[in-house]
């Protein structure tokens, strides 16, 4: 491993080794006595470390411990649970630089984006602290004299979390921080493409729980492949499975959880568009489109895949974007002078190349052509050129999400047509419109406007804040995480009626006298 940017020191500061156990109930790590799989950096192709693969016996050990921990944790007052989560947030602050560097090196996003991801974790911990004193129910008037009605919220139990490689730590924290203050315990399966980031987070959280003499099992980690996800999805002891990833994966999880009448919280694919009207602020439109398309090398679920541009400014936008792309610096994500890092692995490269070939076969015309970068600094083989194509919305390749920096330009004439194009894909995660005209903005946000879970005006499709609920519709899965009232997904609602009278009247005036 080349260590130009001090990654070895960061790994040491995070407590990571060359070979790491892969499953934990807290500070207790479990030897599965199975094989290891390697975490390989797409930045330089080096093996960062190895993580032990969990077997079914290990899974059973972890679930049993989580069940036991829930019996204690659910009875800890919510504000006290919030205090522990606050301290986890502080521990993340102390490790922000090292963890951000690991995220960048293991996943391939720029160091600034790695730091931003850790900041998201800190922010959701802060949000959860306040939430721990705001798990509000309602009071209702009863139709029966001498009766009182109210509702309250109780924790569910074990929350299974399946996260994706592109946000290897933040999405876990969105779920875990809320679940913990709600009184749940968590079993986390990180992406097998970024397992060390998961191990590092588990070490940080476990230390805080142990400091407060909390039982093993509140924060659990289990590293493995899709088989672990299948175990969580089919397990009746796991009332909620929160899964982030492809639509294909989400359909499998949703079906398995649904068949046992469990709950699933699905955050799946996006095929996000920005509408650029003739009334747009061009500087904001170009900047928002550029980061949305190439940030994280196009590997965000909220990445901008389509630009729907008014015909009167189409050529101007195309020319300016091409000029901006020519200035992008592609290279090691830990080098802060670089704008774009690598895609995650060779499979992602192959998918990128296949998408370009498919786009051209369907008639797309290259504005900025793609390709794989070679030579010094690109030895991992995972660096690709962000590409732009002129296309039609109905092209099959445009209808699908390609997790790579490929942007399609599409022309429109009326705002109604633009909204129809925006909505004319199977996915419904994030959307945006660039306009200074109020009527266009309001039409986009109206009930007949964007059909996505996120609809922005004069900002891009990516870069969500934790204060708002995050998620999408259609093939994006319908789940909501992070802010607003997303906490309700992690709890069960209970309605209570109390009779403080000396009689027993029945509802709806029913008489049942003996």
- For strands 263-267 and 272-276, give the pairing: unpaired
Q: Which domains does the chain have, with CATH numbers?
A: 21-268+477-493 (3.40.605.10), 272-465 (3.40.309.10)
Q: Which pLDDT tens digit goes with each residue over 56-79?
A: 999 999 999 999 999 999 999 999
Q: Give the Cα separation of 44 and 452 in Å (integer).
A: 37
Find out whether 260 and 239 touch, Cβ atoms under 8 Å: no
What are the backbone angles phi and psi of residue 95, rounded to the nearest 5°?
A: -105, 10
0.85 exceeded by pTM: yes
> Which segments within 182-314 are labelled E, that is strand?
185-189, 219-222, 240-244, 263-267, 272-276, 304-310
Catalytic status, residue 267: yes
Q: Give the Cα separation of 180 and 86 in Å (integer).
A: 11
Q: Which of 345, 302, 320 is nearest to 455 (CA)?
A: 302
Instruction: List, in order, residues 6 or more apart from 282 with CB less than 8 Å away.
Output: 313, 316, 317, 320
Would you call 295 helix, strand, or coil by DSSP? helix
Q: Which pLDDT tens digit goes with each residue over 454-501?
A: 999 999 999 889 999 999 999 999 999 999 999 999 999 999 999 999
Find out whether 482 and 242 touch, Cβ atoms under 8 Å: no
Find out whether 164 and 70 touch, Cβ atoms under 8 Å: no
Q: Give the Cα separation of 72 and 62 in Å (integer).
A: 16
Q: Exactly one of 267, 401, 440, 481 is catalytic; which is it?
A: 267
Q: Which pLDDT tens digit goes with each residue over 222-253?
A: 999 999 999 999 999 999 999 999 999 999 99
Instruction: Kindly state the percentage of the chain with pLDDT values over 90.
Output: 97
| Per-residue pLDDT at 400 | 97
Q: Exactly one of 301, 382, 440, 481 is catalytic; which is it?
A: 301
Q: What is the mean pLDDT of residues 377-398?
A: 98
Average pLDDT over the chain, rounded to an integer:
97
Q: What is the mean pLDDT of residues 133-152?
A: 97
Q: Give the Cα separation of 351 and 485 in Å (integer).
A: 37
| Per-residue pLDDT at 440 | 98
Instruction: List, in order, residues 6 or more apart from 293 with CB less than 8 Å away.
Output: 303, 304, 305, 386, 388, 405, 407
Q: Which pLDDT tens digit goes with each residue over 179-207?
A: 999 999 999 999 999 999 999 999 999 99
User: Is a pLDDT exceeding 80 seen at residue 2?
Assistant: no
Q: Give the Cα separation of 193 and 7 in Å (integer).
A: 18
Catalytic status, residue 186: no
> Which segments within 193-232 are labelled E, that is strand?
219-222
- For strands 23-24 and 219-222, give the pairing: antiparallel
What are the backbone angles phi and psi of residue 177, rounded to the nearest 5°?
A: -60, -45
What are the backbone angles phi and psi of residue 13, rounded to the nearest 5°?
A: -65, -30
Find out whether 120 and 69 touch, Cβ atoms under 8 Å: no
Find out whether 355 and 391 touch, Cβ atoms under 8 Å: no
Q: Give the Cα separation of 266 and 214 in Å (integer).
A: 30
Q: Give the Cα separation of 106 and 414 in Å (integer).
A: 44
| Per-residue pLDDT at 276 | 98
Q: Give the torsion through C-alpha atoms of 461, 463, 466, 468, to 10 deg.
A: -20
Q: Give the Cα separation of 387 and 372 in Å (integer).
A: 11
User: Is a pLDDT exceeding 70 seen at residue 132?
Assistant: yes
Band of pLDDT at residue 1, cut at 50, 70 and 90: low
């Amino acid at each position: 491993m080349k260590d130009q940017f001090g990654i070895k020191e960061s790994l040491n500061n995070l407590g990571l080794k060359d070979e790491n156990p892969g499953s934990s109930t807290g500070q207790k790590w479990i030897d599965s006595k199975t094989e290891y799989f390697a975490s390989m950096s797409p930045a330089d192709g080096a093996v960062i470390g190895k993580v032990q693969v969990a077997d079914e016996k290990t899974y059973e050990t972890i679930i049993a411990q989580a069940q036991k921990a829930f019996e204690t944790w659910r009875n800890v007052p919510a504000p006290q649970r919030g205090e522990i989560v606050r301290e986890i947030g502080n521990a993340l602050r102390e490790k922000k630089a090292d963890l951000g560097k690991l995220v960048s090196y293991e996943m391939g996003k720029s160091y600034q984006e790695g730091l931003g991801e850790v900041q998201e974790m800190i922010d959701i911990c802060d949000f959860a602290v306040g939430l721990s004193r705001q798990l509000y129910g309602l009071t209702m008037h009863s139709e029966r004299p001498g009766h009182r009605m109210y509702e309250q919220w109780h924790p569910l139990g074990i929350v299974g979390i399946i996260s994706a490689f592109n946000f290897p730590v933040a999405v876990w924290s969105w779920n875990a921080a809320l679940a913990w203050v709600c009184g749940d315990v968590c079993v986390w399966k990180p992406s097998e493409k970024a397992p060390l980031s998961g191990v590092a987070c588990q070490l940080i959280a476990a230390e805080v729980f142990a400091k407060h003499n909390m039982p093993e099992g509140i924060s659990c980690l289990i590293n493995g492949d899709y088989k672990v996800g299948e175990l969580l999805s089919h397990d009746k002891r796991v009332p909620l499975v929160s899964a982030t990833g492809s639509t294909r994966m989400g359909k499998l999880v949703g079906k398995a959880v649904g068949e046992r009448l469990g709950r699933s919280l699905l955050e799946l694919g996006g095929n996000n568009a920005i509408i650029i009207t003739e009334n747009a602020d061009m500087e904001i439109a170009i900047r928002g489109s550029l980061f949305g398309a190439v940030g994280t090398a196009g590997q965000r679920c909220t990445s901008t895949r389509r630009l729907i541009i008014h015909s009167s400014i189409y050529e101007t936008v195309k020319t300016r974007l091409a000029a901006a792309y020519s200035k992008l610096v592609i290279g090691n994500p830990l080098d802060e002078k670089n704008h774009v890092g690598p895609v995650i692995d060779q499979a992602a490269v192959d998918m990128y190349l296949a998408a370009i070939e498919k786009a051209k076969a369907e008639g797309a015309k290259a504005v900025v052509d793609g390709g794989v970068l070679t030579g010094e600094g690109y030895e991992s083989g995972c660096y690709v050129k962000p590409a732009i194509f002129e296309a039609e919305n109905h092209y099959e390749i445009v209808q699908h999400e390609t997790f790579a920096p490929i942007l399609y330009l599409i022309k429109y004439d009326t705002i109604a047509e633009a909204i129809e194009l925006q909505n004319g894909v199977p996915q419904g995660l994030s959307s945006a419109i660039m306009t200074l005209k109020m009527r266009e903005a309001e039409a986009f946000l109206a009930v007949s406007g964007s059909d996505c879970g996120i609809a922005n005006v004069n900002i891009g499709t990516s870069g969500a804040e934790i204060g708002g609920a995050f998620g999408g519709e259609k093939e994006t899965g319908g789940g909501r995480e992070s802010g607003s009232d997303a906490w309700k997904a992690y709890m069960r609602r209970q309605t209570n009626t109390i009779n403080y009278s000396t009689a027993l009247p029945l509802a709806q005036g029913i008489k049942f006298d003996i």
